[in-house]
Amino acid sequence: MLALCGVMVGCLESVPMSSDGNASTARRGAGAHSIAVIGGDGIGPEVTAEALKVVAAAGVDLATTEFDLGGARYLRDGEILSDDTLEQLRSFDAILLGAVGTPEVPPGVIERGLLLKMRFELDLYVNQRPFIAAASNGSAGHDFVVIRENTEGPYVGEGGVLRRGTPNEVATQGSVNTYMGVERCIRYAFELAHGRPRRHLTLVHKTNVLTFAGDLWQRIFDEVASQFPDVATAYHHVDAACIHFVQDPGRYDVIVTDNLFGDILTDLGGAVSGGIGLASSANLNPARTGPSMFEPVHGSAPDIVGTAKANPTAAILSAALMLDFLGESAVATQIRAACADPVEGSTTSVGDIIASRVAG
C-alpha cells in the first residue's frame, strides 16, 4: 500500500504495555469514555497515535487501555485473541484498531482469529463505511454510505475440503444467511437512510444467480421497506453496482448488501473516493450489548513502516465515527470538517495540522 495525501471524509495519550504484555490503562477522568486501543501491526500504531492526538485536541475525555494484539504478538507467543482477552474487551465502550497483519504470518490466521472473532463474538453485525468526494474535474461528487452485513455469509467458515492435495480434491465454502441476521442489517440501513436528506436505499445482491440467499434478502428488504414509506428504494445486481461506483457513484445514498459483496464494494468505494488508504469504517453492535470497533481499512502496510509516509486521515475519521457512536456527534462533525481539506506531510505532521484545526 502506498501512503496517500488526499482526503475522504464520511469520528490521549499513549500508555505503555503492562508487564504481562497484554494491556495497560490510563484514566483521564471519571466521566471518560472507556476505549480499548489495538494499535496492531505495521503502520497501525503510527496512525492510531495520530487519531488519539486529534481526539485529545478536540477535548473529548477518554480512558484508554492498550492491547498488544496482531501478527507480531502471535509470532512472539502464539496469542491471537484468547477468550480471556475477549472478555476484557467486552467491558469497554468502544475499540479503536489501527491495522493487523504481517507477512510472516500465513493469510487467514489473524483475520479469522482476531478480526472475525471480534465481529462474531461481540456481535458487530453492521459494517458501516462512508464515502465522500467533492465535485472536481467535471465530476459531480458523491456522498454515500455502504451498510454491509458483518457476521454471516461466506465469512462464517461453513465448508470443508476432501482429498486435499490430490487431483480429486473437493472444496466447498457455504454462505450462511439467516432471517434475523439479514433483517436487523436491512432495518439498520433503512433507519440510517430515513435520517439522511435524500432518504434513498439501494439493495445490492445477485438475486438472478444466488436464488436462495438473494430471495431471502429481497423478501426481507421488501418487508422492511413497507414500514418506511418515506424512503425510496432500488435494487442493483452487484456487477452493475461496480460499474455505477466507477461511472456515477453520486446516484447512491445508502447501500445495503451482504458480507462478501460489501467487502468488495467498499474497497471499490474507497478507490473512487480518494483512495483506499483514506477509508474509515465502523463495526457496530447497534444493540450495544458490547463494544463496537472502529478501524481504517488500509491495512498494515509493512513496506512503509517507520518511514513517516502513512497518512493517518483514515484512522482519524474512524475515530470520528467512534465519537458519533459514543454520542459526541458535534465533536465528530468538527473532526470531519478539519479533515475536509487535503493535508500533505509526514504522519505526525498531518496529525498535528488536523489537531490544530480541531483545537481552533
Hey, what's the cell of 199?
432518504
On the 0-12 / 13-18 / 19+ scale of CB atoms within 10 A, 348 is: middle
**239, 248, 303, 341: which one is catalytic?**
239
**74, 125, 155, 252: which one is catalytic?**
155
**215, 222, 248, 267: which one is catalytic?**
267
Q: Is 263 a catalytic residue?
A: yes
**125, 263, 309, 324: which one is catalytic?**
263
Q: Is 239 a catalytic residue?
A: yes
Q: Is 77 a catalytic residue?
A: no
Q: Is 155 a catalytic residue?
A: yes
Q: Is 68 a catalytic residue?
A: no
Distance (Å, rounded) from C-alpha 12 to C-alpha 49? 8
CA-based angle 310:12:305, to the nearest 5? 20
**206, 253, 309, 324: which one is catalytic?**
206
Nearest to 276 by CA among 239, 238, 311, 322: 311
| Residues acting as catalytic residues | 155, 206, 239, 263, 267
